[in-house]
Amino acid sequence: MAKFIEKLGTVDRRVIFLLMALAVILPLAFRMNLPIPIEEGPSKDLYDAIEALPPGSRVLLSFDYDPSTMPELQPMAVALAQHLMTKDIKIVSMALWPMGVSLGNEALTMVGDSLGREEYVDWVNLGYKTGGGVLIVRMGSNIQTVFPNDYDGNPIADMPVMEGVNKLGDFDMIISLSAGDPGIPAWVMMAGDRFNIPIGGGCTAVSAPQFYPYLGTGQMVGLLGGLKGAADYETMVRLEEDDAAPGTATPGMAAQSVAHLVIMLFIIIGNIAYLSTKQKKGGLR
Amino acid sequence: MRLAIPLTITFVAGMIMILQFFVPATQSLGESLQEWYMIVASFAIFLGAMNLITVHVHKIRFRAKNWKYSPVTIAGFAAMVLTGLFMGIETGRPFDFMFTTMMVPMGATMFSLLAFFVASAAFRAFRASNWRATLLLASAFIVMLGRVPIGSMIWNRIPLVSEWIMQVPNLAGQRAVMIGAAMGMVATSLRMIFGIERSYLGGTD
């Protein structure tokens, strides 16, 4: 028995990889669905903050990520766009990451088309500009000097969606979907704190813990953390809108549940083997 | 002279960026500097592209280790740049097609591989070797369960405990790190503005 336990501690990593692959693939293949309980927390706070905005408000949505973090952040983009457009809130989008522009455009076009919202009237994509935090500060005094044209090269001054929007302070909220730097910290420090604009955000699960101080101080109104945040938001939007398009985060949560259980199982096995070896060597007291 | 000029530029630029918050007359100067920064940062992209080409051409020429990947990199780079420049980047164009059907899935795949390495690393390294490691292990289990629906199916209070760990001990630790890092950033910035810290100039003196 002791030998078997010791052997468990030296399992080939290919076995771990295979079991992980199965843990992810099987729940998705068999469309395993688990209920997503909506608790009080940062996801609900963001939803409530958007719910409190009156129709016609203007929200800046910044797509600060790239394809590598898309599985976690793109479902958030879709769910947020769905919520904002359903509430008749105008969306001005941009990106601090070059590849975020196309991903944002994809989400906004898809949701906009499904809800019959018009580009330039209900939403616009300003595109990408380099500069990070400095870019945000410049937008604080004048957006048109930084983005004279949108992503497609049309002058933003003539667009109905930009009516009354000249600087960052004219937005009712800024939401950054962030995979790193520049991202949420830049928006909080350069826009939220300097121009007193409510900041919401979405980020990968690994980076969520570092943004909790901003939630604690009220510098952020809410936060979607990882796939769970996206699934929470999808569920809340679907509770309000029955005909909302099904998201990709909610089915992903079943796969993530099983994957977490598999990782925990391996940690337990590894520790049993470790303690057994230690006891054999007389190290455990 | 080679040292005095960059140090003077750093001092003047740094002082203007600080003074603009206190002296309204320097505000427009600060804004000009911000615009310069954005222009310089844009040029950094060209510099990066040039560097990429130089490194990979060098690898091919000298048959360096794994040089066979370099032609693929250069070909991919050229394909994206040329289609983007000459055929546009709008939806439906070849650039957009390559981005959506190649870049996006490949990027997502690379990040997804992390799950396998995390599982393998956790199995080999996450040991309850002392009470602190055990505490960390217990917290990790609670947070991992609290972040997935199966956690609340096991016990409906797990998400609440998980959220408490994030809101209290995690927040306290993160805040300490942030304040420490911010203090360090202020100190380093002042050292650079006053010419004490010179490592950014590339030399040792």
State residue A53's pLDDT score. 96
pLDDT of residue A169: 94
Q: Are residues A70 and A154 in the same domain?
A: yes
The 10s digit of each residue's pLDDT in B90-139 is: 778 899 899 889 988 998 888 888 888 988 998 888 888 899 999 999 99
Contacts of B122 in chain A (CB under 8 A): 263, 266-267, 270
Comparing alpha-carbon positions, the chain A residue that sits nearest to B27 is A141
Query: Which residues make Cβ contacts (< 8 Å) with residue A113, sequence separation at least 6?
Result: none
How high is the pLDDT of residue A39? 80
Binned at pLDDT 50, 70 and 90, residue A244 comes out as: low
Give yes or no for B159 touching A (CB within 8 A).
yes
Interface of B with A in 77-116 (CB under 8 A): 89-91, 96, 99-100, 103-108, 110-112, 115-116
Residue A36 belongs to some domain of the structure: no
pLDDT digits (tens, 9 = 90+) for A198-226: 999 999 999 999 999 999 999 999 999 99
Residues A146 and A206 placed together within one structural domain of the fold: yes
Is the domain of A264 the same as that of A221? no
Residues A152, A89 share a domain = yes
Q: Is A253 on the interface with B (CB under 8 A)?
A: yes
**Percentage of chain A surpassing pLDDT 70?**
96
- Number of domains chain A is built from: 2
Residue A236 maps to a domain: yes
Q: Is 60 exceeded by the pLDDT of residue A167?
A: yes
For residues A142 and A266, membership in a common domain is answered with: no
Nearest to B145 by CA among A245, A268, A283, A78: A268
Among partner residues A102, A138, A261, which is closest to B96 by beta-carbon distance? A102
Q: Which residue of A has its CA nearest to B43?
A: A130
Q: Which domain holds residue A15?
A: 2-31+254-284
DSSP 3-state of A41: coil
Check whether A153 has a pLDDT greater than 90.
no
Is there a domain that residue A213 lies in? yes
Question: Does A234 map to a domain?
Answer: yes
Report pLDDT for A242.
63
CB neighbourhood size of A136 (10 A): 25
Closest to A104 in 3D by CA, of B91, B76, B102: B91
The verdict on A193 and A237 lying in the same domain is yes
Q: Do B148 and A264 touch (CB under 8 A)?
A: no
Q: Assign A243 a pLDDT band (cuts: 50, 70, 90).
A: low
CB of A138 less than 8 A from some CB of B = yes
Q: pLDDT-derived band of residue B42, with 50, 70 and 90 as boundaries?
A: confident
Contact A67 B96 (CB under 8 A): no
Reported residue count of chain B is 205
**Residue A2 above 80 pLDDT?**
no
Give pLDDT tens digits for A64-95. Answer: 999 999 989 999 999 999 999 999 999 999 99
Q: Per mean pLDDT, which range of A51-65, A167-181, B26-40, B51-65 is the poorest?
A: B26-40
Residue A103 located in a structural domain = yes
Show which of residues 211-230 on chain A sit within 8 Å of chain B, judged by CB atoms.
212-213, 215-216, 225-226, 228
**Do A61 and A118 have their domain in common?**
yes
Distance of CA B102 to the CA centre of its chain: 23
Given an 8 Å threshold on Cβ–Cβ distance, is A263 in contact with B119?
A: yes
A11 part of contact set with chain B, CB < 8 Å: yes
Domain shared by A264 and A183, yes or no? no
- Has residue A37 been placed in a domain? no
Q: How confident is the model at residue B19 (pLDDT cuts 50, 70, 90)?
A: very high
Task: Give the residue from chain A lying closest to B95, CA to CA.
Answer: A102
Q: Residue A138: CB partners within 8 Å, gap ≥ 6?
A: A131, A145, A146, B31, B34, B35, B38
| Position A285 pLDDT exceeds 60 | no
Contacts of A135 in chain B (CB under 8 A): 38
**Nearest-angstrom CA–CA distance, B172 and A213:** 8
B148-179, pLDDT tens digit by residue? Answer: 989 889 998 999 999 999 999 999 999 999 99
Are residue A17 and residue A131 in the same domain, yes or no? no
> Which of the four pLDDT bands, split at 50, 70 and 90, describes residue B203?
low
Query: Does residue B204 have a pLDDT over 60?
Result: no
Predicted local confidence at residue A33, as pLDDT: 84
Are residues A177 and A266 both part of a single domain?
Answer: no
Best B116, B135, B155 residue to mutate vs chain A (most A CBs within 10 Å)? B116
Which residues from chain A sit within 8 angstroms of residue B145, using beta carbons?
260, 264
Task: Find the mean pLDDT for residues B79-86.
Answer: 93
As a whole number, the mean pLDDT across chain A is: 90
> What is d(CA B101, CA A149) in angstroms, rounded to the nearest whole number?
27
Torsion angles phi and psi, residue A225, rounded to 5: -105, 110
Query: Could you tell me the pTM of the whole model?
Result: 0.89
CB contact under 8 A, B171 and A213: yes
- The CA distance from B122 to the nearest CA of chain A, in Å, is 6
CA distance B145 to chain A (A): 7
Number of Cβ within 10 Å of residue A272's Cβ equals 14
Q: A197: domain CATH number?
A: 3.40.50.1220
Are residue A135 and residue A181 in the same domain, yes or no?
A: yes
Q: Which residues is A173 bridged to in the sheet?
A: A59
Whether A143 is covered by a domain: the verdict is: yes
Mutate to test the interface with B, among A248, A271, A272, A274 (most CBs of B within 10 A): A271
Q: In what order do the strands lie in the sheet with A58-64?
A: A123-128, A90-95, A58-64, A173-178, A199-203, A222-225
Whether A111 and A85 map to the same domain: the answer is yes
Q: In which band, very low, low, confident or very high, does the pLDDT at A240 lie, cut at 50, 70 and 90?
A: low
The predicted structure's pLDDT at residue B18? 92
User: Which residue among B34, B126, B144 places its CB closest to the CB of A260?
Assistant: B144
